[in-house]
Structure 1
Amino acid sequence: MTITLKSAADVAAMRIAGRLTSEVLDMLGAHVKPGVTTEQLDKLAHDHIVHVQNAIPAPLNYAPPGYTPYPKSICTSVNHQVCHGIPNDKPLKNGDIVNIDVTVIKDGWHGDSSRMFVVGEGSIAAKRLCHITYEAMWKGIQKVKPGARLGDIGHAIQTFAENQGYSIVREFCGHGIGQKFHEEPQILHYGRPGTLEELVPGMVFTIEPMINVGRREIKEMGDGWTIVTKDRSLSAQWEHTVVVTDTGYEVLTVSDGTPAVPAFITG
């Protein structure tokens, strides 16, 4: 496995790409309301990234081996959609939950982040899922420091989510990121502590748990991209890009509108 370590200059460039990514999510948040289509959100994001940020939306026409090119500039996964939902002309309804996943390329470097949004008045169950998934991501981030292992991250996320009565999607994971969208290592959101690669300063990767209300099994839809829960239960995901520092971690995908860090981190 070849993991590319990032220099201080590389991290500085990724900090800019990460901030731009987060600012797209800030901007979109005001538009997530009943009656809006994910197609409209995609156009808003595309225009902002291209014309305001002078950057590139990484998902547009992205085609890993075996996939058709992804047709939109962001991913929008609604309710039981787990990830990679393709924006369309179906209006969002009151009570829906939607994950918006944004990846911006600026000066050759990628920033990658996603957030959950509750459309209008969400149910207690839906809001709890979004909240616990956010905390699960941070349980993983909290484990990032030199000398820790990738298995420590997955174990922290898995035990936290399962203790809340949820299940973890295992087929998709976080990933190294830099001048490529997806690099080594893979960041599993389940696992055993003390296993897998050791973290060293300069490693940059995403932590992006996908957590289901029901069972963990998933399936791919006919469009070749959209992943849904097999039992049609709600699914949520949050994502940050982080770098391993000399003393711990830094989250690179932050902006003025980034949701507050959980109390167990700040405390």
Structure 2
Amino acid sequence: MDNCALSPFNSFECQHCKAERSGKATNRRCNVIISKRLCGLEEAMRIRRLRELQQATKVRKRPPLRRGKISGPLLVPDHIPKPSYTGSNQLPQLSSEYQVHDDEAIDCMRAACELAARVLEFAGTMPSITTNEIDKAVHHMIIDAGAYPSPLGYGGFPKSVCTSVNECMCHGIPDSRQLQDGDIINIDVTVYLNGYHGDTSKTFLCGKVDERTKLLVKVAQECLERAIAACKDGASFKKIGKKISAIAERYGYGVVERFVGHGVGTIFHSEPIIMHHQPILTMGTTDYVTWDDGWTTLTADGKPAAQFEHTILITRTGAEILTKC
């Protein structure tokens, strides 16, 4: 039986959207998405629903996210097999290949995804420390298992894991900032084991988090679960997006459209691209700013964002979560 492995809810930026951000926009699909995002009336109505539906209690005040000191990349032993993109600071082009896996490949995917899930759960149990310390612990757990931390060196990314705190939507670079009581943090783990990538992420609560932010995190996870339930052989990508949008709109949350899902396997990011069906939910605007490191992406209004992702296997009978602990 042919099977396809997808990481359909991952923060990979659409190549056309990235071109638009760099001033090299094409006239393809992302133009429709951008025009939708910039529709002033629709955004105003969504913000109004947000104010009406969310609880009267205020979100806990916290200072804006500031960058800390970033240490150098950690070493990977020579005997660990590495993806082809390592050693280059160039972001790999999105592969047009649809990765369909046979039974042997699926076994390899299971092993990579199982490791990614275990690493993620371990990272989520760490006390309130710096994100740099999380990166170090994740890095060593991955290489001790004979795997490579996929983010390291991908397009020049300097760390082994993505850690996105509070208003950071995705691609946060671990640094010296100390996690604080009331923070939320998305930890995004991808491992490369036996030639295959396993990819997963989860938003964790740090200490006592205010009720509105906890609700945002809960709804983001629900969006992921409902979307996965809609996945099966022959299902349209549009149906996945509708599941996410319906839940998010019920609570007045924004769904970030810039970052997309993707195929995964021997290649980190490949077709099929799941356009704007990524449950990164925001409490306020879906507009964003990217720091000059080229990676760290924050909500433009400084309000929190939450994200969850799994790698799933599409079979003829449905979808199996490969990164579920």
TMscore range, shorter length: 0.7 to 0.9
Residue pairs, 1:1-267, within 5 angstroms: 2-33=97-128, 36-51=129-144, 53-63=145-155, 69-190=156-277, 208-255=278-325
Matched-pair identity in %? 40
- Residue 122 of structure 1 aligns with an amino acid whose one-letter code is V
Whether contact under 8 Å (1:112, 1:253) holds in the other structure is: yes
Whether contact under 8 Å (1:173, 1:209) holds in the other structure is: no
Match of 2:47 in 1: none
Match of 2:72 in 1: none
- Residue 143 of structure 1 aligns with an amino acid whose one-letter code is A
CA distance in 2, matches of 1:221, 1:170: 18
Deviation at residue 74 of structure 1 after TM alignment: 0.2
Deviation at residue 249 of structure 1 after TM alignment: 0.6
Deviation beyond 3 Å, 4+ runs, structure 1: none
CA distance in 1, matches of 2:99, 2:133: 37
- Residue 54 of structure 1 aligns with an amino acid whose one-letter code is G
Q: Secondary structure at the match of 2:213?
A: helix
Considering only aligned residues, what root-mean-square deviation do their CA atoms show, in Å?
A: 1.1
Match of 1:261 in 2: none
CA distance in 2, matches of 1:126, 1:44: 27
Gaps of 5+ in 1: 64-68, 191-207, 256-267
Match of 1:263 in 2: none
CA distance in 2, matches of 1:9, 1:150: 27
Whether contact under 8 Å (2:279, 2:308) holds in the other structure is: yes
Whether contact under 8 Å (2:258, 2:276) holds in the other structure is: no
- Residue 37 of structure 1 aligns with an amino acid whose one-letter code is T
**Largest Rg, 1 or 2:** 2
CA distance in 1, matches of 2:154, 2:276: 24
Deviation at residue 222 of structure 1 after TM alignment: 1.2
Q: Secondary structure at the match of 1:254?
A: coil
CA distance in 2, matches of 1:91, 1:227: 19
Deviation at residue 219 of structure 1 after TM alignment: 1.8
Q: 1:47 to 1:146 in 2, by over 3 A?
A: same
Whether contact under 8 Å (1:19, 1:254) holds in the other structure is: yes
TM-score between the two structures when normalised by the length of structure 1: 0.84
Q: Secondary structure at the match of 2:240?
A: helix
- Residue 142 of structure 1 aligns with an amino acid whose one-letter code is A
Q: Secondary structure at the match of 1:173?
A: strand
After superposition, give the CA deviation of every residue in 1:107-160 in whole Å (9 maximum; x if it has no partner).
010000001111111110111111100000111101111121111111111111
CA distance in 1, matches of 2:163, 2:324: 20
Deviation at residue 189 of structure 1 after TM alignment: 3.9
Q: Secondary structure at the match of 1:99?
A: strand
- Residue 123 of structure 2 aligns with an amino acid whose one-letter code is L
Gaps of 5+ in 2: 1-95
CA distance in 1, matches of 2:315, 2:99: 14
Match of 2:82 in 1: none
Whether contact under 8 Å (1:153, 1:189) holds in the other structure is: no
CA distance in 2, matches of 1:250, 1:32: 31
